[in-house]
Structure 1
Amino acid sequence: MNLAQRLGYAADDRLVIVNADDYGLCHSTNAAIQKLLTDGVVSSATIMMPCGWAREAALWSARHSHLDIGVHFTFTSEWDSMKWGPINRIGPIDTLVTEEGYFPKDVKSFERQADSEQVRAELEAQVRMALRLGVRLTHADNHMGSLYGLQTGRHFLNETLDVCAKYGLPFRLPRNLLMENGQVAPAELAQQARKHAEAADARGVVVLDYLLGLPFRGGQNDTFEMLKSQMIALLSNLHAGVSEIIIHPSLVTDELRAFHDSPLRRGMELDLFRDRDIQETIRREGILPIRWRELQDLQRGAK
C-alpha cells in the first residue's frame, strides 16, 4: 500500500507536495516564500531555525497558522560570507562546529565529526525554538541532506526519527529512491532507502513515497526555459503515490547577491510554479496537490 492509499486516495493517484526550502535564510528569501505561500503556489515551506532571519519567518508563520510550515533541520553553513551555528545552549556542541563556532561548510565534515547525542539535542532545540515562537509545525526535513549519511555512510536518521516521533512530525524521507533523471535507483541504494523507511514505520513517523527536485547546482548558463522544461518533464513522469518536489525560491536582491553564488537561479525557482505551462502540466496530468498537514493528520491518528 502506497502513501496515497493510506491517505484515502486511489492506488494509482499521483499526489504532489511542493515545498519551498531555506525559509529564514535571509529577508529576500522570506519575502519570496511568503508570497508563494499566501498565493497557494507552494504547499509548504521549511524554516532554517539557526539562520539570522528565522525569527522573522517564524513570527510571520505563527500569524498564518493555516499554512503548512516545517523545520528545515540545519547542521551545515555553506556560504563563506554568511554563517550560522547551533541553537542548543544547554549542552555540549563542540562536535557540531568549526573552530570559529559555526556549523561546518560541507556535509562530509559534519558526518565525520558529529556526535549523535549532540545531534539529537540540536534537533530538539531547533524544533523547540520554532514552537516557542508560535509556529504550528506540520513536518520536518533536512538542509543539504546532512542527516542521511550520503557522503560517508554515517547517518543520523535514528536520532532524527526519534525527534520526529516525539513531536508528531512527518519527515522528508523517500521510501522509494529515485535518481536525478527520475529513474529508480540501483538495487543497493533502493534497499537502503526502504530500510530507513521501515525504521520510520517502526516509530510511527510518516514518510514520502518519492522525493524529487531539479539538480541543486545548475550551470552558469541555465535559463528559465531550461528549468521549466526540466520541471515539466519531472511532473509528467511522476509515479503513483505521494511525491514531494523541493524548490529554493528567493527574490534576487543585493542582499542575496552578497553571499549567494547562484542568485539568479533562486529567482528562476521563484517563478517556476507560477508559470502557466507548469500549472497546465499539473492539470493535464491529473496530478493532485496535497499538503504536509494531511500526512501529519495520518501520523497523529486523525485519519
Structure 2
Amino acid sequence: MDLKQRRLIINADDFGLSPGVTAGILYAHQYGLVSSTTAMVNTSFSKDCLQEAKHYSYLGIGLHFVLDAGQPLSPSVPSLTDNKNNFLKGKDLVENAKGTDIKEELKRQLELLLSWGIDVTHIDSHHHMHLHIPGALEIVYEVAHDYKLPVRVFTNTTVTATAPRTDYFHFNFYGENNLTEEYLINMITNLDQGTSEIMCHPGFLDTWLTKTSSYQQMRMKEVEILVSNRIRKCLDEQNVQLVHYGGI
C-alpha cells in the first residue's frame, strides 16, 4: 500500500438490528458512501438480512460482536448473562465478564456468520464492548488472528496489535450535534495519510427499532448525509479512496 494514499472505510454498525436499519444501511451503500457494515447475528432478523446483503458484492461485511444486547448463542456463558439468560449490560458486564466466556461467544457468533456464506471482512463490537471490558481486546485479537481478520480499535489503543487494524478510527459522526454535511466534509478533508475508518449508524425507522434502540431519528439523518452528492464530491476532490476492511 502507498503510505501517502488516504484510504477511507465508512462502516455502518448494527446491520440486522431491524429490517428498517438494514434497509437504511443498504440504501446508504447503494446510493451513497457506506463501503462496509458489521452484522449482529443474534437478532430475529439477522439471517434474512444477511441473505439480502449478498446481492451487494462491493459491500464489506464484518461481525458486530454482541455482548450486551439480547441473548448469547452459547448454551452457557454465565459471566455474561443474568438469570434470564439475557446479556448483562454496562458496569455489570464489565465487572463480571470472563475471558473464557467472551472467547466462546465470539467464536459462536463468528462461526454462525461464516456458516451463512458471508465472506467476513473484520470484527468490531456493539457499543465497543471489546474495548471497554478489561482483557477483551486481547481475546478478540487472538480469535481474529486465527481467522486472519482485522479488528476495529480506537486510534490511541496501546494494546499490541496481533491482527490488522486501521491507522485511525473516527467515532464522532454520531448524535444530533455532529450530523451535518459540513462536519463530515471537515472529517474527510482532514484525514491523515493511511487508512481511516469513520463509524456511522444509518437506518430507516421501524417498530422494532423504536423498541430496541434509543438512537432513532438520527439514523434517518445519517442516511440523508451519507447519500449527499456534496460528500461524494469531497471524496473525489480530496483524492480519498473508499475501501472496506477486506482491502487492508
User: Could you tell me which amino acid in structure 1 is paired with residue 40 of structure 2?
Assistant: M
Q: What is the aligned counterpart of 1:101 among 81, 85, 88?
A: 85
Corresponding residue for residue 59 of structure 1? 51
Matched, 1:88 2:74: yes
Q: What is the aligned counterpart of 2:144 among 164, 187, 196?
A: 164
**What SS does the corresponding residue of 1:102 show, helix, strand or coil?**
coil
Separation in structure 2 between the aligned mates of residue 41 and residue 228 of structure 1, nearest angstrom: 13
Unaligned runs of 5+ in 2: none
Separation in structure 1 between the aligned mates of residue 83 and residue 224 of structure 2, nearest angstrom: 39
Closer, same or farther: CA 145–288 of 1 in aligned 2, 3 Å: same
Quote how far apart the aligned CAs of 1:54 are.
1.1
Quote how far apart the aligned CAs of 1:278 are.
1.5
Separation in structure 1 between the aligned mates of residue 30 and residue 202 of structure 2, nearest angstrom: 14
Number of aligned residues: 248
CA RMSD of superposed structures (Å):
2.0
Separation in structure 2 between the aligned mates of residue 158 and residue 262 of structure 1, nearest angstrom: 29
Matched, 1:141 2:127: no
Q: What is the aligned counterpart of 1:207 among 165, 174, 177?
A: 165
Unaligned runs of 5+ in 1: 1-7, 78-83, 178-192, 296-303
Q: Is the 8 A contact 1:43 1:292 kept in 2?
A: no
Report which of the two structures shows the higher radius of gyration computed on alpha carbons.
1
Separation in structure 1 between the aligned mates of residue 94 and residue 210 of structure 2, nearest angstrom: 29
Identity %: 24
Residues 172-229 of structure 1: per-residue CA shift (max 9 Å, x gap): 124x43xxxxxxxxxxxxxxx2x32x332xxxx111100013254x34xx59xx5222
Matched, 1:21 2:21: no
Quote how far apart the aligned CAs of 1:96 are.
0.7
Separation in structure 2 between the aligned mates of residue 265 and residue 66 of structure 1, nearest angstrom: 25
Q: TM-score, normalised by structure 1?
A: 0.76
**What SS does the corresponding residue of 2:124 show, helix, strand or coil?**
strand
Separation in structure 2 between the aligned mates of residue 260 and residue 102 of structure 1, nearest angstrom: 16
Separation in structure 1 between the aligned mates of residue 141 and residue 233 of structure 2, nearest angstrom: 36
Q: Is the 8 A contact 2:33 2:232 kept in 1?
A: no
Closer, same or farther: CA 283–127 of 1 in aligned 2, 3 Å: same
**What SS does the corresponding residue of 2:117 show, helix, strand or coil?**
coil
Separation in structure 1 between the aligned mates of residue 225 and residue 118 of structure 2, nearest angstrom: 27
Higher RCO (Cα < 8 Å, 6 or more apart)? 2
Q: Is the 8 A contact 1:47 1:70 kept in 2?
A: yes
Q: TM-score, normalised by structure 2?
A: 0.91
Q: Is the 8 A contact 1:96 1:104 kept in 2?
A: yes
Quote how far apart the aligned CAs of 1:111 are.
1.4
